[in-house]
Every structure is written in structure tokens, then in C-alpha cells.
A and B are shown apart, each in its own frame.
Chain A
């Protein structure tokens, strides 16, 4: 099942995490208390030019030296510290959340159009693939993922998310179907710019994973949202697709719908389906994703999972249930339920 929630302020007005905590907790019936997470953009203004790496150490005394050494090989650590946490009686902490503010050495990815992101991608793949007791859970500029195995309120209080202010927040209330005790498993999943929360289960996980791994990504957690985050990064950053086309590649129209389109659109949609057949996602899902400039939402073509969109002033909301939106915005101006294949794309004002 799972409950997901996203909010974006188009004018980058900051929201602290308390409203998001309340919204997510409205959907506790959609979760099982075995995983929740939050991600926010804009939370580290003092280090806005550094990549903020959130890392879970199984044992900090063993793993930190390994991660420090790897980071020093790929760039410079500006600062690092334990992520402030506050023990919760219902949360069994089994790892140590740490954060680094890191400057990648762009000269280590010569010939790349986005060398810093290539370095960070390589770094994340290298550390997460290794049996080193360390897992990087977010790696973007001015962004951070806070997640754990537990109910949304406990996870929020553990990380004190009300102390963070962001202009985009995504949140996820997990209904665990496997590995409930691993803290890196719940959504959100992040790779530098992009963060993903998903409600559902793609039946094409294996095909999508093999496809994205053929481009050098390494899927270490076995979760849909990890693959989706890498697919979006691949299609938008490496292949240069606009976001609307990338979404159409991941969740394309049915062939009989394409047959009824005007000729030019038919050509485009056929080309996308042929080129990205292995990236096409099937099965029930609603995905909400964000990068520093936008928040997007889309569902599977058969619409087997809910997606409600709310708008109020500069705020855009996407959630599994209307009540989560109204918990944060009681007088929301518009509530809609977009059809399958109608992606929601909200952009931050430039």
C-alpha cells in the first residue's frame, strides 16, 4: 500500500518539517510502522555549494575511516559530523547517521558534461556496492534524506525534522513487504539532484534494473525507487530528455492510444517506446520525485494506485490521499485527481 506526500513552494518559501510530519501521519493506515522517510531541498544553505552526503554506518568506528579515505580520493571533505538525532522509545536504532559536506574533484571525470555529478554517482555506487558497513542514502547539494524503520512520527522526531527548513519536501509512509529492519530500505531514495518516493510495486523491476545497470548504475538496495531514481537521472542528465518525455518513456501510452494520436505524436511515442522498452515500468505505482527545480508525479497507465493533487497559492501538493494535503493546507484552493498518463510537473520559479 504505502502513503506518499510531496509539497513544493514555487517561490522557494521555506517550510519546516512539522507540517510534513503531520500530513504523513494522516496516512498511517497506509503504512505498517516499518519504515518512513523524508527528504527536503534547501536545508543546508551554509553549504549550498557542497554535495551533502548522508551516510548510514553500521559501526561508525569501523566504517567511517573507509568512507573518509574514499571521499579524499575523489575530492575534499569540507566538514563532517553526526546527524543530530533524538532517541525515540519506539525506534530501534541499528546504525549511525552521518553527514559529509563534500566537494568532488571534477578533473577525475574528464570529458563529462556534468563531471561533479559523475564523480558523486561513482562514489555512491562504489560505497553502496561494497560490504563496508556504510550506505550513502542521499548525495545532493542542499538536500538530505532522513529515513528509518518505524512510524512517521517517530522517524520525524528521531531526526528532529521540524528543525529543518526546505522549499520542497517528499515523504513516504512505508507498508513493508520485505526487510523491515533495514534503515536504508524505506523511500525516499536519492541520487544527487533527484529524490523519489513510490507507492506500489513495479512488476518490471528486473528488466528496469538490468537496463539501468547496463549504464553503470549499481542497484544495491533492491527497491523500486532506487531504480526509478537512477532511470530518471539517466534519461534526463545523460540522455538529455526533457522531464515530460522522460516520464512518457517510463510510463508510456498504450499502443492502442498511440494508434489514435495525430501522426507526429504517433511517431514520437513509437520512437520512445522502441528506444526505452526496457525502461518502461509496469505494475501498480504512483511516483513522486523532485530535483532542486521541480516536483513531478505520475502513475501507472492502469491507475492502480491513487494520486491526488492540491494547489494553494504558490504551493503544489501531491499525495496518496486528499486528507494528507488538507492536514497541511486546510483551505486548499483546488483538489484534482489527474488521469493515468497525465503527469504532474511543477517547477520552482527561476
Chain B
């Protein structure tokens, strides 16, 4: 039978709180429910294994940083940089998140039902089978996919128009897929638009279905919707900016 552990985070500093979570995982917990979370940082940092951590409240900055394996589910908003340099596993945020979501992420999935702030997916990367995925249900702000080096960044715009501009500033790997049309003026130097091919659609469809299942949405209209795909215009977007040959 699955072993569940409950932790009350009320008034607890993040250091003892994260020690308790780590101890629970060492003791073989499958599910850890952390109640009354109010901004404690670094929850799930560096954790391995396949436990599920349920965060009830507002998760503090750098949620699931360096995490490798577990699933973190947040019933609320998250502050800056959830999924920072995450290696594998999954982060599901039912609210919105702050700036620099999935910062330097190198594997696994970050799903945000609401909006994300500025610089979402900044410097996401990929290597062989490691391919990080960030999906945003609402909108993203400026500098989406800044310096992006790999992975998939999907923005569904479920709650209105996507506000992102300067999309893919310095992108040199990976792909940004946004539901609906994206005005050319919203693309940064170094990024270019491509039509979404049937092959692309087949590749993102399982991601959309998983996202929809996590948040109780109807997947098929989203799978069939019109998308814009944004990719690097070159592998060295700033070749002429910082070097002279």
C-alpha cells in the first residue's frame, strides 16, 4: 500500500521543511502532502526517486530545482523559477507562476495551468534523450524562450491572447509552439516562424493530452487547433554581435 506522509509547513523555515521532506522520502514515502505552504523556497530540490509531493499553498522560489524523478503538484501559485535546472520528473502548478519558469531546465516536464511571467523557458536545453517540456495553459510574458538551447515550450493561451513579445531572443535550439497566430513583430532577432507540420502535431499531441488530463480539460479541440512553431534562425544568433571574425 502506498505510504502517505503529511507535513504542516505553517511557520516553518524552508531549511527544516525541506529536511522533513527529504527524510520522508528516505523513509520510503510514496506521497508527501505539505499543508500551509507560504513561500518556502527550494521545495523538492535535488530529490530523486518517484515520490509525489503535494504542495498546498503558494510555493516559494526555485521549486524542484535540480530535481530528478519525483512529481510535485502545487495547488496554488508558484514564485520565480519553478523547474530551475530540473533533470527529470514533473511539476504541475494549478495556479500561475512568476518569472524565469523552467530556467535552464534539462529534462522532465513543467505544466502551469495559469500564466507565467517574463523569461519563461530561459535557456532550456537538451542532450540526446533528455528533452525538457514546459507547457503553459494561459499566457506568457516578454522574452519567452530567451537563449533557448533545446526542448519544447508550448503556450496554449486558454484564457485570452498570448502577450509574449521578443519571443525566442537568442534562441539557438529547441522549439516554441504557440496556439494561434503570432505576429512577426513579436519575434525577436534570431527566431523564425514555421508552419506546424503533421509530424510536428503528432509529436506535440501526447503532450497536450497529458496536460489536459492533469487539469481536466478537453484535449481534442486543443490537439486540432492552429499553432505557430518558432525555431532558431541559426545556430549562432549572436555570432556577429559579440565576436568579429
Contacts and interface: CB of A to CB of B under 8 A. Distances in A.
B117 A323 contact: no
Contact of A323 (B79, B96, B99): B79
Contacts of B98: 306, 308, 337
B151 to A, nearest CB: 23
Which among B39, B61, B77, B79 has the highest number of chain A CB atoms within 10 Å? B39
Contact of A326 (B58, B80, B115, B185): B58
Given A303-B117, A322-B77, A323-B60, A339 B38 contact: no
B79 A322 contact: yes
B79 A339 contact: no
Nearest to A327: B38
Interface in A321-348: 321-324, 326-327, 335, 337, 339-340
Given A303-B141, A337-B98, A321 B79 contact: yes
Contacts of B141: 303, 339
A324 B58 CA distance: 11
Interface in A283-319: 302-303, 306, 308
Nearest to A260: B185
Contacts of A321: 39, 60-61, 79
B163 interface: yes
Nearest to A323: B39
A26 interface: yes
A306 B117 contact: yes
B64 interface: no
A72 interface: no
Nearest to A29: B41
B178 interface: no
Given A26-B39, A306-B98, A322-B77, A340 B60 contact: no
Contacts of B66: none
Contacts of B80: 306
A322 B117 contact: no
B99 A306 contact: yes
B208 interface: no
Contacts of A323: 38-39, 58, 60, 79
Contacts of B61: 29, 321
A337 B98 CA distance: 8
Contacts of B99: 303, 306
Q: Which bracket fits the contact residues of B?
A: 20 to 34
A337 B97 CA distance: 9
A314 to B, nearest CB: 23
A312 to B, nearest CB: 15
A308 B163 CA distance: 17
B118 interface: yes
A322 B58 contact: yes
Contacts of A335: 77, 96
B156 interface: no
B96 A337 contact: yes
B102 interface: no
Interface in B105-129: 115, 117-118
A104 to B, nearest CB: 44
A323 to B, nearest CB: 3
B142 interface: yes
A35 B185 CA distance: 43
Contacts of A306: 79-80, 98-99, 117
Nearest to A341: B142
Contacts of A327: 38
A340 B38 contact: no
Contacts of B60: 321, 323
Interface in B177-200: 185
B38 A26 contact: yes
Interface string A22-36: 000010010000000
Which among A323, A326, A327, A339 has the highest number of chain B CB atoms within 10 Å? A323
B35 to A, nearest CB: 14
Interface in B49-102: 58, 60-61, 77, 79-80, 96, 98-99
6 nearest A-B residue pairs (beta carbon): A323-B39, A303-B118, A323-B38, A322-B58, A323-B58, A337-B117
Given A321-B60, A323-B38, A327-B38, 19 more contacts: A26-B38, A29-B61, A260-B185, A302-B118, A303-B117, A303-B118, A303-B142, A322-B39, A323-B58, A323-B79, A324-B39, A326-B58, A335-B96, A337-B98, A337-B115, A339-B141, A339-B142, A339-B163, A340-B118
Interface of A: 26, 29, 260, 302-303, 306, 308, 321-324, 326-327, 335, 337, 339-340
24 contacts: A26-B38, A29-B61, A260-B185, A302-B118, A302-B142, A303-B99, A303-B117, A303-B118, A303-B141, A306-B117, A321-B60, A321-B61, A322-B58, A322-B79, A323-B39, A323-B58, A323-B60, A323-B79, A324-B39, A326-B39, A326-B58, A335-B96, A337-B98, A337-B117
Interface of B: 38-39, 41, 58, 60-61, 77, 79-80, 96, 98-99, 115, 117-118, 141-143, 163, 185
